[in-house]
Amino acid sequence: MALDHGLVGVESEPYERSWTARDTMLYALGVGCGTGELEFATEKGQRVLPTFAVLAAQAPGRRLGDFDPAMLVHAEQAFELYGELPPAGRVRTTTKVTGIHDKGSGALVTTRATAVDPETGEPVVSSRSAVFIRGEGGFGGERGPRGTWEPPDRAPDHKVTYATREDQALVYRLSGDHNPLHSDPEFAARAGFPRPILHGLCTYGVTGRALLHAVAGSDPARFRAMSGRFTSPVFPGDALTVSIWVDGSDVLFRTAKDDGTVVIDRGRAVISPRPAP
């Protein structure tokens, strides 16, 4: 069979997951934190990178149909936080496929996840994601909504560059994403890549670090939301430059490689104002 369109709108059974302080430290290392960010990478006064919210809200995916998994790539990711995440915690998550859109050359499958406190039912994280599956389009469906995004007609307020390591994907995969596209050269070649590519969510996490330090004063409690569209692969070892435009609490951003190739586009973030002294 092809993609299972009957999944659209059907909410999953609740799934409970927990994480430890070790998990959040390992995630920090996986997205590039080092000796300059010990509050995220060690136990001393430990805090959690806001982009860990995406992993906190993850639940086992339902089978979307029969297709070659090498044809699937992460296309979009967004999250909203309702408070600062603790170094160790637990949530109950439900997910829903919100759409299967026909993009011609492939299908765009969009999903929403809602994670709540298992004890109180209060929201913790809301997450939206999309995957693009090459070769699964052409079924005559709607193409899906199109949003608008334009950076201001001025130079970025901030530009932050972080290098990634050659082994970055091997560290990041220890946070749970074992897709061989990011570690197995033969699998990557079948997907059309000369070597394994970096996880989209690793690039997303590196970008989130840049936003956190440049516009949130390195304070995770001020980081409310983030979204972006993955537009080009990143290889471990590439340097990433995040261009940031700030308008009050609203932030626009774009992430590019050294050669100017944009890898995360249409970026938006919401940063709370600095608290009064």
Question: Where in the sequence numbering do the catalytic residues fall?
Answer: 177, 182
The two three-digit tokens of residue 241, written as one number: 């430059």
Phi, psi angle pair for 103, to nearest 5°: -105, 15
Helix axes 200-215, 21-30, angle to 10 degrees: 90
Q: What's the rounded Cα separation, in Å, for the pair 106 and 139?
A: 9
Q: How far is CA 175 from CA 24, 42, 102, 185, 267, in A?
A: 9, 16, 32, 20, 24
Phi, psi angle pair for 15, to nearest 5°: -130, 125
Which residues does 87 contact at the CB level (< 8 Å), separation at least 6? Answer: 20, 21, 24, 25, 46, 47, 48
Largest CA distance in the chain: 60
